[in-house]
Amino acid sequence: MAQAGAIVLAGGKSSRMGSPKAALEWHGSTLLRRVTGIVARSVDGPVVVVSAAGQALPALDGEVEVVADEREGRGPLQGLAAGLAAIGDRVDVAYVSSTDVPLLHPVFVRRVVGALEDTVDVVLPEIGGFRQPLSAAYRIDLLSTVEELIAADRMRPAFLFERSRVLHMSEDDLLEDVALARLDPALASVSNLNERADYERAHALPAPEIPVEMFGPLATRSGTRRQIVPAWSLGAAAAGVHVALDEHVVAALNGDKITRDPELPLVSGDTVAFMVADAGG
Secondary structure string (H, E, C) spanning 26-71: ECCEEHHHHHHHHHHHHCCCCEEEEEECCCCCCCCCCCCEEEEECC
What share of the chain in percent tops pLDDT 70? 93
**Other CB atoms within 10 A of residue 183 CB:** 18
Q: Which CATH homologous superfamily contains domain 209-279?
A: Beta-grasp domain (3.10.20.30)
Say how far apart CA 198 and CA 191 lie, in whole Å: 9
Q: Where in the chain is the domain with CATH 3.10.20.30?
A: 209-279
Q: Which residue has the higher pLDDT, 45 or 20?
A: 45
Residue closest to 135 by CA, chosen among 146, 150, 124: 124
Q: What is the pLDDT of residue 281?
A: 42
DSSP code of residue 140: G
CATH number of 4-199, picked from 1.10.10.10, 3.40.718.10, 3.90.550.10, 3.30.499.10: 3.90.550.10
Spell out a b/e string for 228-266, using b for 16 or more CB atoms within 10 Å of the CB, else e. Answer: ebebbbbbbbbbbbebebeeebbbbbeeeeeebbbbbbb
Compute the average pLDDT of residues 105-131: 96
Q: What is the pLDDT of residue 18?
A: 65
pLDDT band, very low/low/confident/very high, at 2 (cuts 50, 70, 90): low
Positive or negative: CA dihedral 96, 113, 127, 231: negative
Q: Is the pLDDT of residue 22 over 60?
A: yes
The pLDDT tens digits for 207-220 are 999 999 999 888 76
The pLDDT tens digits for 159-179 are 999 999 999 999 999 999 999
Q: What is the pLDDT of residue 14?
A: 64
pTM assigned to the model: 0.94
